[in-house]
Amino acid sequence: MSAPVLRDLEWTDLETLAALEVALFADDAWSEPTWWAELAGRPRRDYVVAIDDGQVLGYGGIDVSGDVADLMTIATVPEAQGRGLGRRLLDELVRRAEGSGAEALLLEVRADNEAAKRLYGTNGFEVISVRRRYYQPGDIDALVMRKHIGGTHG
């Protein structure tokens, strides 16, 4: 398999992403109007998609506003998971956050999302707080994680 190419999100991707979201995020799926709003949020919002042979295999994005950037979302389609694409997307988003001048990248992750917690934990993110029962339905806690970037904090 050739390596997927990472490029900026385009409006022609939005219908595809909204369809993928349902399988990837279930109750938390973003609709197509939500994706349009995210795209309209540029340049503060900065999204990337991974394309292979014309197919979207993954995507992710950040919000950059001053010292702190936020990871808005990140996902790899089920058939491409476990091959390093999530890590590649995260590396690219960290690089873009650093380029914006941010000193930290924050994210929220469901406490029951083992794959995502492993991805973040092995990429230098640390849990800084817990939002109890943040995700509904299901009463699932949100872990707030932070990675220092772009400076000397390590």
Ligand X SMILES: CC(C)(COP(=O)(O)OP(=O)(O)OC[C@H]1O[C@@H](n2cnc3c(N)ncnc32)[C@H](O)[C@@H]1OP(=O)(O)O)[C@@H](O)C(=O)NCCC(=O)NCCS
Nearer to ligand X (CB atom), residue 82 or residue 151: 82
Contact between residue 127 and residue 142 where contact means Cβ atoms under 8 Å apart: no
Residue type, 64: V
| 84 sits near ligand X (criterion: CB under 6 A) | yes
Q: C-beta of 41: minimal distance to ligand X in Å? A: 19
State the number of CA atoms in the 13 A half-sphere of 79 facing the CB: 6
Q: For the chain, what is the radius of gyration of the CA atoms?
A: 15
Residues in 22-61 at the binding interface with ligand X, rule: CB under 6 A: 24-25
Kindly list the catalytic residues. Answer: 108, 120
Task: Mark 87-106 with x for binding to ligand X (rule: CB under 6 A) and - for no binding.
Answer: x-------------------
Please name the helix (run of DSSP H) or strand (run of DSSP E) that holds residue 62, with its range, or none. Answer: strand 55-65
Closest-approach residue to ligand X (CB): 86
Which residue number, 53 or 152, has a Cβ lying nearer to ligand X? 53
Tokens standing for residue 36: 């349009």
Residue type, 127: V
Binding ligand X by CB under 6 A: which of 39, 49, 64, 76? 76
